[in-house]
Structure 1
Amino acid sequence: MIQRIQTVYLFLAFVITGILLFFIPLWTMSNNKAFYFMQSETYTILLGLSTTLSILSILSYKKRQNQFVVGRLNIILNLILLGLFVYRSLNLSGETPAVSEKGIGMFLPVFAIVLLVLANKAIKKDEDLVKSVDRLR
């Protein structure tokens, strides 16, 4: 159901993890070559899982409880991904010859996490509304 606000949040999280990271580099190497997530197998797998979970959550709009659980798993996955990005940036600081400039793409999982939290909040609100209506019957 596209008219629900959580669907919009989930779609934006899908755009961030599935589309934007193809165009925004994670960081720039010292030889002025951009480092994209596709150059690392771990990042590709984790971002692919995150994108798949966002799509699965959008498509399971009739089962709000499953949608909520998938959203939580997606949040955890994005936190792991963000941790890997931060770990990599701390190990390869800007002073080393390997990485010369950190990119904004490294912090895109933060925006995805915020959108997923907002989506889960809206899903919970819908679930509470349905439960309150069931009590009245």
Structure 2
Amino acid sequence: MIQRIQTIFLFVVILLTGVLPFWVNLWSDANGNEIYADNEIMVSGLFYVSAVLAMIAILLFKNRKNQFVLNRLNMILNLFLLGFFVYRSLNLSGETSVSEKGIGMLIPVFSIVFLVLANRAIKKDEDLVKSVDRLR
């Protein structure tokens, strides 16, 4: 059902990855220009794909196994995005390209945390259904 706690967690992931990266700067370059997600095509695309995966996971509330797998895929996507941010911030030395890291680089971390919480709730529901089926 849609009123379960994992729906709230997935809705928070949608807000984190679909809205927040476009309001919070990801980093500032050497000139002091703030870089947002809409300035980088690949980054904005990955954020949108993550938000769409979370929305599809909400709509798959009747099939908990597919919802669980889709959340795992979303976690892998966010880990890739986090790895890109770490690579981007540590690749160039001497602050030639990335001068200041923004709070937006932590968005994939928070997204992964909420996806793990959603998967725990989905697993708990699945175990409850299995235990009720066992009693019949």
Is the TM value for this pair above 0.5? Answer: yes
Superposed displacement of residue 3, structure 1: 2.3
TM-score by length of 1: 0.94
CA displacement 1:16-64 (0-9 Å, x = unmatched): 0001111001001222211012222221221111011000001111111
Q: For residues 79 and 124 of structure 2, what CA distance do their matches in structure 1 show? A: 24
Aligned length: 136
Q: Does 1:97 align with 2:105?
A: no
Cα distance in structure 2, aligned partners of 1:70 and 1:24: 26
Unaligned runs of 5+ in 2: none
Q: Which residue of 2 aligns with 1:59?
A: 59
What amino acid is the match of 1:123? I
Please give the TM-score of this superposition, normalised by the length of structure 2: 0.95
Q: How does 1:121-132 map to 2 (within 5 A)?
A: 121-132=120-131
What are the residue-to-residue correspondences of 1:4-83 with 2, within 5 Å? 4-83=4-83
Secondary structure, counterpart of 2:48 in structure 1: helix
- Give me the whole-angstrom Cα distance separating, in 1, the residues matched to 2:92 and 2:120: 36
**Quick one: percent identity of the two aligned structures?**
60
5+ residue gaps, structure 1:
none
Following superposition, which runs of at least 4 residues in structure 1 exceed 6 angstroms of deviation? none
- CA distance in structure 2 between the partners assigned to 1:44 and 1:71 by the alignment: 19
Q: Give the whole-Å Cα distance in 2 for the aligned partners of 1:44 and 1:92.
A: 22
